[in-house]
């Protein structure tokens, strides 16, 4: 899927959630993308964000960054024996 299509779709999701309470906007966008977007679409938008994320609305960009950070494996200090 073309990046501009993903940006358009993500921004449309953002437009829907912009009328929610301020503290629900980013989690709402992130939750929708996580629940309804194919993993390949998410990976493509993460890659687009890594290239600057031009055209993404601020709340959408924040939500995608949140999703990207959440998928990283948790670091542990366990060294093993």
pLDDT for 72 equals 76
> According to the model, what pLDDT value does residue 60 have?
98
- Residue ranges in the chain modelled with pLDDT below 70: 74-81
Model pLDDT, residue 49: 97
Question: Residue 71's pLDDT is what?
Answer: 84
pTM of the predicted structure, to 2 decimals: 0.86
Ramachandran category for residue 74: left, alpha or beta (phi over 0 → left; psi -120 to 50 → alpha): beta
**pLDDT at position 57:** 98
Residue pair 29/59 in contact (Cβ under 8 Å)? The answer is: yes
């Amino acid at each position: 899927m073309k990046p501009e299509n993903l940006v358009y779709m993500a921004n449309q999701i953002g437009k829907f959630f912009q009328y929610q309470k301020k503290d629900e906007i980013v989690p709402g966008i992130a939750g929708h993308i996580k629940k309804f977007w194919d993993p390949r679409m998410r990976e493509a938008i993460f890659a687009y964000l890594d290239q600057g994320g031009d055209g993404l609305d601020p709340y959408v960009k924040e939500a995608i960054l949140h999703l990207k950070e959440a998928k990283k494996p948790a670091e542990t200090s366990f060294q093993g024996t």
